[in-house]
């Protein structure tokens, strides 16, 4: 008997076999010695059967109307009635919609003691119990219900598992039944993941319904900043000039030149926001003297969104590089070029000033470093790195990128000024803040790297606490 009181079908049936010469042998009868039964000859049932046949596993489909379904199923698959199909196997895949589960109560006695695989999905995310728990508790309480394969689409099964994730979460309250289905998934070419007991089906059923969950915070933040910076740049420059002196030229150039400034500011701010939560977390740990104090929700969400913020920074920086390459001419950025002769009233330009070239150098370098950060954040590359290499790239190279990116922005702003203090004086406060944020971060990071604070932080992160824990009496 299994822990949940259900009867286990594990390797318990002992069959007598006679092999030549060696006398009789006892061989265990495993559920996998029988065909896999699929209930429902719909899209999923047929695709699942096709995949099993390709893997070399025998399949029987149970249908309400076997005669009509037979021409549509893959060759070598037997199509028969529900009861007949169930009697032939030990593992039954229930490929029917969730709404049809109440009708499955008729098969309750046929399915007693069998492994029933629930592949169903929900229509929308809700807090009710999972389909698998409903099936196990309310309909087939004498079967061993296993949740699995719901993350795989019928299309992916038909196209040789292309275009879909091969990771298949599997969970069940019965360990042996779970093990059998895990083995089946392996044989079919999947990477099964043991999710534990059936309650985990709530998470497993939520997987296909999720829409980029880790990206919500980062995307909202990016669009919020984009809107704020665009409105600011538009009002501070082109619209201000128009209202003050009726000049429309700058408004016309907002989609290219003006927006390119927004992209530069946004890329640098997003990159700074990748490193800010780590610094706040470090100071918080130093202040509390322990790593066991939980972070507030806002900081936790921010820390978990660092990778997404970094990738969005890379996207925006790449857009900025494309815009800059298209607009990089003296007609747009005259203050970066040496003045040439005036011929027939038209100003000609020579090559760039050293500041202009430095701008291209720092911009290219920052983008290259950001690309390295982006590539190393992908799981396949991460898997090939050890922890030290990963920390080196993400932390050291990340701060180097922040430094070069800030230098790039400062060089850009200063190209129009002969004296640096004029630049600081005339730069509008929010634009200055965009550059001050990474500068502040770099200073705080250097402060944290000072021997005294660094060794204290290391102690805390190794589990040392400033206040001794009360010992239970
Ligand atoms: N399609 C997909 O890509 C995926 C589907 N799934 C899940 O697989 C299950 C089946 O989906 P799908 O194949 O697309 O749906 P279909 O509507 O194509 O097929 C469902 C089949 O279930 C059987 N059925 C329907 N109602 C009843 C009932 N009242 N009693 C008994 N049998 C019934 C029918 O088979 P018959 O007429 O032979 O009896 C029917 O063809 C669903 O739970 C779905 O959530 C999961 C992941 C992906
Ligand atoms: Cu730039």
Q: Cβ(9)–Cβ(172) under 8 Å?
A: no
Q: Cβ(89)–Cβ(37) under 8 Å?
A: yes
State the distance from the centre of ligand 2 to the C-alpha of 408, rounded, in angstroms: 6
Which structure tokens are listed for 302?
């921010």
Choose which residue among 67, 68, 79, 96 to substitute to test ligand 1 binding: the one with the highest number of ligand atoms within 8 A of its C-beta: 96
Which structure tokens are listed for 225?
């900043």
Burial profile 396-415: b = 16 or more Cβ within 10 angstroms, e = fewer: eebbbbbbbbbbbbbbbbbb
Most confident of 7-16, 113-122, 242-251: 113-122
Report whether pLDDT(110) > 70: yes
Domains and CATH numbers, the chain: 10-209 (3.40.50.720), 213-461 (no CATH)
**What is the distance of C-alpha 88 from the center of its chain?**
42
User: Using 50, 70 and 90 to split pLDDT, how confident is the model at 428?
Assistant: low
pLDDT of residue 21: 44
Atom of ligand 1 nearest to the CA of 45: 13
pLDDT (tens digit per residue) in 379-409: 888 888 888 888 888 888 999 999 999 999 8
Q: Cβ(78)–Cβ(84) under 8 Å?
A: no
Q: Which carries the bigger pLDDT value, residue 153 or residue 417?
A: 153
Which pTM was predicted?
0.69
Report whether pLDDT(424) > 70: no
Minimal-distance CA residue to ligand 1 atom 31: 100
Report whether pLDDT(215) > 60: yes
Least confident piece of the model among 75-89, 269-283, 422-436: 422-436
143, 316, 397 from 160: Cα distances, Å:
31, 36, 40
Neighbours of ion ligand 2 (CB under 5 A): 264, 363
**HEC sequence for 309-335:** HHHHHHHHHHHHHHHHHHHCCCCCCHH
Report whether pLDDT(23) > 50: no
Atom of ligand 1 nearest to the CA of 40: 35
Minimal-distance CA residue to ligand 1 atom 25: 96
Q: Cβ(221)–Cβ(301) under 8 Å?
A: no
CA dist., res. 285 & res. 277, Å (int): 12
As a whole number, mean pLDDT of residues 50-75 equals 93
pLDDT of residue 425: 64
pLDDT of residue 2: 42
Minimal-distance CA residue to ligand 1 atom 42: 97
For 214, residues 6+ apart whose C-beta sits below 8 A from its C-beta are 304, 305, 307, 308
pLDDT (tens digit per residue) in 249-301: 777 778 888 889 899 989 999 999 999 999 999 999 888 887 777 889 999 99
Between the two ends of the chain, the Cα-to-Cα distance in Å is 42
Residues flanking ligand 1, CB < 6 Å: 40-45, 63-65, 69, 95-98, 100, 103, 119-121, 150, 153-154
pLDDT of residue 14: 40
């Amino acid at each position: 008997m299994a822990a949940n009181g259900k009867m286990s079908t594990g390797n318990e049936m002992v069959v007598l076999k006679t092999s030549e010469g060696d006398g009789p042998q006892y061989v265990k009868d495993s559920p996998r010695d029988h065909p896999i039964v699929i209930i429902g000859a719909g899209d999923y049932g047929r695709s699942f059967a096709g995949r099993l046949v390709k893997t070399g596993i025998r399949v029987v489909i149970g249908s309400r109307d076997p005669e009509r379904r037979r021409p549509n199923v893959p060759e070598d698959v037997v199509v028969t009635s529900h009861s007949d199909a169930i009697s032939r196997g030990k593992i039954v895949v229930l490929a029917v919609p969730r709404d049809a589960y109440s009708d499955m109560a008729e098969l309750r006695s046929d399915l007693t003691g069998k492994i029933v695989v629930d592949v169903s999905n929900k229509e929308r995310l809700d807090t009710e119990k999972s389909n698998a728990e409903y099936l196990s508790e309310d309909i087939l309480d004498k079967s061993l219900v296993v949740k699995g394969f719901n993350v795989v689409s019928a299309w992916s099964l038909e196209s040789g598992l292309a275009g879909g994730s091969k990771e298949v979460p599997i969970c069940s309250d019965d360990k042996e039944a779970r093990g059998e289905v895990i083995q089946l998934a392996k044989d079919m070419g999947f990477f099964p993941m043991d999710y534990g007991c059936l309650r985990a089906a709530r998470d497993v059923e939520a997987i296909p319904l999720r829409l980029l969950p880790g990206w919500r915070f980062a995307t909202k933040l990016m669009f919020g900043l984009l809107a704020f910076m665009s409105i600011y740049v538009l009002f501070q420059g082109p619209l201000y000039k128009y209202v003050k002196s009726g000049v429309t030229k700058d408004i016309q150039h907002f989609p290219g030149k003006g927006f390119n400034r927004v992209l530069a500011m946004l890329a640098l701010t997003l990159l700074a926001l990748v490193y800010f939560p780590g610094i706040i977390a470090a100071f918080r740990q130093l202040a509390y003297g322990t790593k066991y104090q939980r972070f507030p929700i806002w900081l936790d969400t921010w820390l978990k969104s660092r990778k997404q913020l970094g990738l969005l920074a890379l996207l925006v920086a790449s857009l900025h590089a494309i815009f800059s390459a298209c607009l990089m001419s003296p007609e747009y950025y005259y203050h970066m070029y040496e003045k040439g002769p005036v011929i027939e009233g038209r100003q000609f330009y020579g090559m760039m000033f050293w500041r202009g070239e430095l701008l291209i150098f720092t911009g290219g370098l920052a983008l290259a470093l950001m690309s390295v950060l982006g590539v190393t954040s992908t799981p396949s590359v991460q898997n090939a790195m050890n922890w030290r290499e990963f920390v080196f790239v993400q932390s050291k190279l990340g701060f180097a990128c922040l430094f070069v990116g800030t230098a790039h922005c400062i060089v850009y702003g200063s190209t129009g000024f002969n004296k640096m203090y004029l630049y600081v004086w005339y730069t509008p406060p929010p634009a200055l803040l965009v550059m001050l944020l990474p500068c502040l971060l770099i200073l705080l990071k250097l402060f944290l790297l000072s021997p005294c604070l660094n060794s204290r932080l290391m102690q805390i992160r190794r589990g040392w606490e400033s206040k001794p824990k009360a010992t239970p009496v």
